[in-house]
Chain A
Amino acid sequence: MGFELKGLKCGYSNKAVLKGISFTMDAGEVLCVLGPNGTGKTTLFKTILGLIKPLEGQILFNGENSMHWSRSKMAQVIGYIPQAQNTSFPFGVMDMILMGRTAHLGNFASPSQKDKKIAERAIDTLGISYLVKRIFTELSGGEKQLVLIARALAQEPEILVMDEPTSALDFGNQLKVLSHVRQLARNGLTIIMASHVPDHAFFYSTKVMLLNQGGLFGLGKANEIITEKGLRELYGVNVKIIQTGIQSDYEDNSEVRMCVPLQNKQNGG
């Protein structure tokens, strides 16, 4: 699905957190949003999801302004994957995933056999059928995150928004979740995710957005946008970006890069 932000200004009441955000995305793209804490990644996501109203500008899905959409119409187009945290009640994993079907159900309806089939398809996509009989609150962080992704898939949206999907995960789970993300994009989903790790952007995104206080710092392909100078300006740290010699499997066949932190005494160089 085509997705476009036009001159978006977002924030709370009259205090703008971000200004002048414009970009377009096509189906199958992965946008990675990087930026220091407090630059408004979450505010941007909440605005895109319609949780807070934009102060200015438009959010367009296939050219249609989402301003006055109902919550259920919104949820059928765009799904949200929160950071895995405990719910108050110990829902079963299947119930949790079935809740993703809510946007497609009538007010008084509960999920039907058809909804169960869709949930099972999401479970198969992520290969987590071994979790189905477990209880959500008793899962590990990585398992929870996978269940939340399955729930968002059961919602059958065309765009997925993920707020730091890997922040609470160990190394292995981070990579697992992110490779699922990339696979979902290959299947045609548009994905917008926030991250704190530039390497994730190198590996898993087709587009990168850098945010600094008040607005857009850069937007484009990871290899062009994430530079040593840029990261120094954004985060105030020195890093060296190295070529790994590994070819990425994206269409442009570029080489995968990585950030290596530098010690302070090498500052001058």
Chain B
Amino acid sequence: MKASIKNKESLPEATAEVNLLKVYLVVVLLPIFAFILSFPLGRYPISIPDLLSALMGKIFPFVHGPEGVINTVIFQVRLPRIIAAMLVGSALSIAGAAYQGMFKNPLVSPDILGASSGAGLGAALAIFFSFNVAGIQISAFVVSLLAVIIVYVLSNKIKRDPTLALVLTGILVGTLCSSFTSLLKYMADPYDKLPAITFWLMGSLATVSPKNVLSSLVIMLLGGVPLYLLRWRLNVLSLGEEEAKTMGLETGRLRLVVIICSSLLTAGAVSISGLIGWVGLIVPHLARMLVGPNYKVLLPVSIAIGSVYMLLVDDLARTLTSAEIPLGILTSIIGAPFFFFILLRGKKGW
């Protein structure tokens, strides 16, 4: 009887070890390929040999890379943008994956606690009051974190299931933020500021510079590294409050850490990219279908898929038409049907 069960062909491959090769391919090779392939794309043509010699020239001082425009395009325009896309994609994916576990719900996205609506409000405020680009980013970042702090403080006043309290107050604060954003749009100068707010809310990486890529990298590391280190505990947290506690988890403390880190990641991402939906929801799903729900493997795979997905979408955004297509629109237009396709083909549950 036991033997027959063992030999059954349809045994689902549960353990991550079976998929190890697949995991390495996804985690290591895919991002490298996407990274290199993204350089030649764009209005100014760059050949792969040019790119390689420019990169070599940067790394090894004795190699003479190409001069002039090519160098500028590669290092001042494309490199920051490529890195920004990869950072934003991985940050949203980590935050989404962590929240999905914490809320025990695979349909949760990183903006569940109001981080995105907060960022939108912050950006709208800054544009309304004519801040410069850096000012807009800082304001988006700060208001995004403020929104989550308000959600956390308010939810602690509700003496019931803490995760449900968080979800509900998250919806409340998120709604308030988007209402205020709408109010600002209504009041804003329709020829100048209204389009600026609208475009920001649709998301774009067109304005990133090496400087703000660096600052958001620091923020994202602050949020991402602790989550990555704590990833085994995220498994236990996803079993639910009481079960996790009886297994030795200080759930209250861990929940706070997850919220702080995910908020830093989300705020750090949307403050340079504008509002980008779907990535944080869909990428952890995809990763889970590939390698299962164990965060030990799920998180690195989510990071890899998230960075590649965002980068490819951004490549499309800047090459499909002569004008930029807003990133937030593309992530959904590509993401939704793709997601449906995955749902049809996926064998594993989510």
A82 to B244, CA, bound (A): 11
B247 touches A75 (CB 8 A): yes
A79 to B243, CA, bound (A): 10
8 Å CB contacts to B: which residues of A52-110? 70-72, 74-76, 78-80, 82, 87-95, 99-100, 102-105, 107-110
B12 touches A99 (CB 8 A): no
Residues in B neighbouring A135, C-beta threshold 8 A = 12, 14, 292, 348-349
B101 touches A134 (CB 8 A): no
B243 touches A133 (CB 8 A): no
**Given the known A-B contacts A90-B348, A99-B239, are A155 and B245 also in contact in the complex, defined by CB atoms under 8 Å?**
no
Query: Which of B12, B233, B239, B240 lies in contact with A134, CB distance below 8 A?
Result: B12
Q: Who on chain A is nearest to B252 by CB? A: A71
Q: Mark B325-350, 1 if CB is under 8 A from A, else 0.
A: 00000000000000000000000111
A102 to B106, CA, bound (A): 23
Tell me whether B13 is interfacial, beta carbon within 8 Å: yes
B15 touches A105 (CB 8 A): no
A111 touches B238 (CB 8 A): no
Query: Which of A88, A99, A103 lies in contact with B105, CB distance below 8 A?
Result: A88
Residues in A neighbouring B250, C-beta threshold 8 A = 70-72
A89 touches B232 (CB 8 A): no
Tell me whether A51 is interfacial, beta carbon within 8 Å: yes
Residues in B neighbouring A102, C-beta threshold 8 A = 232-233, 236, 247-249
Residues in B neighbouring A137, C-beta threshold 8 A = 349
A72 to B254, CA, bound (A): 13
B248 touches A71 (CB 8 A): yes
**Given the known A-B contacts A91-B294, A95-B235, A133-B11, are A103 and B348 also in contact in the complex, defined by CB atoms under 8 Å?**
no
B232 touches A105 (CB 8 A): yes
Tell me whether A138 is interfacial, beta carbon within 8 Å: yes
A49 to B11, CA, bound (A): 36
Min distance, Cβ A36 to any Cβ of chain B, angstroms: 23
B247 touches A88 (CB 8 A): no
A49 to B15, CA, bound (A): 31
Q: Mark A180-218, 1 if CB is under 8 A from B, else 0.
A: 000000000000000000000000000000000000000
Residues in A neighbouring B6, C-beta threshold 8 A = 130
A92 touches B15 (CB 8 A): yes
B292 touches A87 (CB 8 A): no
Residues in A neighbouring B322, C-beta threshold 8 A = none
Residues in A neighbouring B59, C-beta threshold 8 A = none
A110 to B6, CA, bound (A): 28
A146 to B335, CA, bound (A): 40
Query: Which of B12, B245, B350 lies in contact with A89, CB distance below 8 A?
Result: B350
Tell me whether B293 is interfacial, beta carbon within 8 Å: yes
Tell me whether B242 is interfacial, beta carbon within 8 Å: yes
Q: Mark B10-26, 1 if CB is under 8 A from A, else 0.
A: 01111110000000000
Question: Number of B residues whose C-beta is below 8 Å from A?
Answer: 40
Tell me whether B43 is interfacial, beta carbon within 8 Å: no
A111 to B236, CA, bound (A): 12
Tell me whether B229 is interfacial, beta carbon within 8 Å: yes
Residues in A neighbouring B233, C-beta threshold 8 A = 102, 107
Tell me whether B296 is interfacial, beta carbon within 8 Å: yes
B294 touches A92 (CB 8 A): yes
B248 touches A76 (CB 8 A): yes
In this complex, the interface size class of chain A, counting residues with CB under 8 Å from chain B, is: 35 or more
B14 touches A93 (CB 8 A): yes
8 Å CB contacts to A: which residues of B202-253? 229-233, 235-236, 238-240, 242-243, 245-251
A133 touches B246 (CB 8 A): no
Tell me whether B157 is interfacial, beta carbon within 8 Å: no
B232 touches A134 (CB 8 A): no
B14 touches A133 (CB 8 A): yes
Residues in A neighbouring B243, C-beta threshold 8 A = 80, 82
B245 touches A90 (CB 8 A): no
A71 touches B293 (CB 8 A): no
Residues in A neighbouring B293, C-beta threshold 8 A = 89-91, 95
A46 to B241, CA, bound (A): 12
**Given the known A-B contacts A92-B294, A99-B239, A108-B230, are A51 and B15 also in contact in the complex, defined by CB atoms under 8 Å?**
no
Residues in A neighbouring B230, C-beta threshold 8 A = 107-108
Residues in A neighbouring B104, C-beta threshold 8 A = 87-88
Q: Who on chain B is nearest to A52 by CB? A: B242
Residues in A neighbouring B246, C-beta threshold 8 A = 49, 51, 74-75, 78-80
Residues in B neighbouring A82, C-beta threshold 8 A = 242-243
B292 touches A91 (CB 8 A): yes
Residues in B neighbouring A80, C-beta threshold 8 A = 243, 246-247
B14 touches A51 (CB 8 A): no
B15 touches A87 (CB 8 A): no
Residues in A neighbouring B12, C-beta threshold 8 A = 133-135, 138
Q: Who on chain A is nearest to B292 by CB? A: A92
Name A's B-contacting residues (CB within 8 A): 46, 49-51, 70-72, 74-76, 78-80, 82, 87-95, 99-100, 102-105, 107-111, 130, 132-135, 137-138, 155
A-B contact pairs, 19 of them (CB 8 A): A71-B251, A72-B249, A74-B246, A82-B243, A88-B105, A89-B106, A89-B293, A90-B349, A92-B292, A95-B292, A95-B293, A100-B247, A102-B236, A105-B232, A107-B229, A110-B232, A133-B13, A135-B349, A137-B349
Q: Which 6 A-B pairs have the closest CB atoms?
A: A103-B248, A75-B248, A92-B14, A89-B293, A80-B246, A72-B248
Name B's A-contacting residues (CB within 8 A): 2, 5-6, 11-16, 101, 104-106, 229-233, 235-236, 238-240, 242-243, 245-251, 288, 292-294, 296, 348-350
Inter-chain pairs besides A102-B233, A110-B231, A135-B349, 8 sampled, C-beta below 8 Å: A49-B246, A72-B248, A80-B243, A89-B288, A93-B14, A102-B236, A110-B296, A135-B12
